[in-house]
């Protein structure tokens, strides 16, 4: 069976509908599959970023004093670690013992990558408040955006990971595994 990527349009339409027309948004789940659900989760991490930016610009006035060396070092170190961590998560081996394990391991790696990617922005937020300067947040946000780009569940990312699955000798299709599975909600 050939995997056909559902694209981002349906996910963006649903998310946009939920934001701009909350009473009119479809809750049927029709047309959604595991790939779309994963992309909706990704957007759940990306869409709040402008709100953080708004808050920082509303709370932190001006640029304050020049940043101290420790603050610059901390945010750059966090940013480099985040990019390395996101890349590591995006290339971690996938479990190929079953279709369900394959999809679960991809989702797990995706969420680990998100956790790494979000770190610099959050540290930048703290440093912006401590140092009374917007710059640490903006630098942290830049690193976060790079990290999120690395782990985004795009068609290209799924195809790259499929090549890894095939190279490992597995006949499983990552796209099909993700399409057929939804993240489980555990109590």
Give per-residue pLDDT as tens, 38-54: 888 899 899 899 999 89
**99 domain residue, yes or no:** yes
Q: If pLDDT is split at 50, 70 and 90, which confidence band does 123 have?
A: very high
**30 domain residue, yes or no:** no
Residue with tokens 């957007």: 43
Number of domains comprising the chain? 1
**20 domain residue, yes or no:** no
The boundaries of the domain holding residue 97 are 48-180
**Distance set, CA 103 to CA 22, 117, 119 (Å):** 30, 21, 25
Query: Are residues 178 and 35 in contact, defined by beta-carbon separation less than 8 angstroms?
Result: yes
CA 150, CA 160: separation in Å to the nearest integer? 12
Whether the predicted pLDDT of 178 surpasses 60: yes
**15 domain residue, yes or no:** no
Query: Are residues 127 and 75 in contact, defined by beta-carbon separation less than 8 angstroms?
Result: yes
**29 domain residue, yes or no:** no
Residue 66 has phi, psi (to 5 degrees) of -55, 145
Nearest C-alpha neighbor of 44 from the set 186, 183, 174: 183
**28 domain residue, yes or no:** no
**Mean pLDDT for the stretch of residues 112-128:** 95
Query: Are residues 178 and 38 in contact, defined by beta-carbon separation less than 8 angstroms?
Result: yes
**3 domain residue, yes or no:** no
- Specify the pTM: 0.81
CA 80, CA 90: separation in Å to the nearest integer? 15
Could you tell me the sign of the dihedral formed by the alpha carbons of 43, 34, 104, 88, in that order? negative
CA 21, CA 23: separation in Å to the nearest integer? 6
**53 domain residue, yes or no:** yes
């Amino acid at each position: 069976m050939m995997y056909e990527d559902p694209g981002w349009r349906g996910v963006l339409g649903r998310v946009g509908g939920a934001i701009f027309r909350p009473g009119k948004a479809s809750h049927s789940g029709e047309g959604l599959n595991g790939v779309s659900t994963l992309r909706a989760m990704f957007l759940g991490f990306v869409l709040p970023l402008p709100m953080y930016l708004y808050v920082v610009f509303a709370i932190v006035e001006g640029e304050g004093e020049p940043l101290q060396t420790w603050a610059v070092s901390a945010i750059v170190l966090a940013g480099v670690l985040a990019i390395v961590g996101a890349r590591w998560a995006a290339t971690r081996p996938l479990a190929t013992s079953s279709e369900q394990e394959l999809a679960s391991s991809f989702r797990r790696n995706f969420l680990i990558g998100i956790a790494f990617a979000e770190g610099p922005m959050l540290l930048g937020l703290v440093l912006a408040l401590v140092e009374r300067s917007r710059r640490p947040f903006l630098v942290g946000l830049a690193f976060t955006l790079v990290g999120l780009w690395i782990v985004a569940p795009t068609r290209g990312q799924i195809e790259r990971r499929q090549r890894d699955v095939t190279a490992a000798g597995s006949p499983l299709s990552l796209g099909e595994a993700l399409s057929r599975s939804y993240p489980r909600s555990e109590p």
